[in-house]
Amino acid sequence: MDRTLHCHACQLTLPDAAPEYDGSPCPRCHATLHRRFPHALQRSAAFALAGLIMLVPANLLPVITSNLFGAAQTNTIMSGVLALYRDGLWGIALIVFVASIAVPLLKLVSLGLFFHAAWRGNSPHRRGLTRLYAFVRFIGRWSMLDVFLVAFLTGAVRFGTLASVHPEPGVIAFAAAVLLTVFATESFDSRLLWDEGANSDSAAP
């Protein structure tokens, strides 16, 4: 058994801590020390599942209505991307597509791979999966782009009846999906990828 305790708040390493020390406060910063985050797999999977469910209304419901010079247009995330593409702004369309559609999907697929590998234990791809975990944690936050975009357009484009922008319920679902997937990646513990696995009967060394 791994006797190392590592404080995720102040990065203190206790290389040889007795198992009883698990769950006690860090001697340096008082954050709770965990050999592995408690119930990491269950918590993370629950958040990921909730995020997956929220992604459905997030993509089906409209996120924005623009009222520009008498022409009203209601868009979902995908139709917004296509509208940008049709207007010749393919670079912007690509940015929004990656942040709002590709990143959430990549995150959920990656989380599925992590859960599978952590549950089985001793995955041959655990090095790559650990790198993927770090990457997914880093890019996950860029999904907030669409929420910020709708927020800013709503606030900035206010010219009475001439031009206005309104948010639609899809934004709430999308923000919820982003939050839930962030919680999912945060509650997962990538050290589980290097353990024996949740379903192995403590195999003999």
Partner 1 sequence: MSASIPAPTPLCTVPGDGPVACPWCGQLHERVKLRPGDVSQCRRCGAQLARGFASNWVVTLAWVLTGLILWVPANLLPIVRLSQAGNTRESLLITGAFGLWDANMPWIAVLVALCGIVAPALLLLSFTALLGPIVLGRPSVRGLFLIRWLHAFELWSIPEVYLLAILVAFIKIGSLAHTVPAPGLWCQAGMALALLIAWRRFDVDAAAQALATEKIKGGVS
Binding site for partner 1 (CB under 8 A): 2, 4-6, 8-18, 20-21, 25, 27-31, 68-69, 84, 87, 89, 92, 95-96, 126-127, 130-131, 133-134, 141-142, 144-159, 162-163, 165-167, 171-172, 175, 179, 182, 186, 190-191, 193-194
Which C-beta is closer to partner 1: that of 108 or that of 192? 192
Least Cβ distance, residue 142 to partner 1 (angstroms):
6
Token pair belonging to 61 = 């419901």
Which C-beta is closer to partner 1: that of 84 or that of 108? 84
Token pair belonging to 97 = 């597509």
Least Cβ distance, residue 79 to partner 1 (angstroms):
14
Which C-beta is closer to partner 1: that of 12 or that of 106? 12
Least Cβ distance, residue 204 to partner 1 (angstroms):
21
Which C-beta is closer to partner 1: that of 5 or that of 108? 5
Alpha-carbon 106 to chain mean position: 9
Least Cβ distance, residue 42 to partner 1 (angstroms):
20
Angle of helix 90-97 relative to helix 145-156, nearest 10 degrees, comes to: 120
User: Cα separation of 44 and 42, whole Å?
Assistant: 6
∠ CA 197-201-205, nearest 5°, is 85
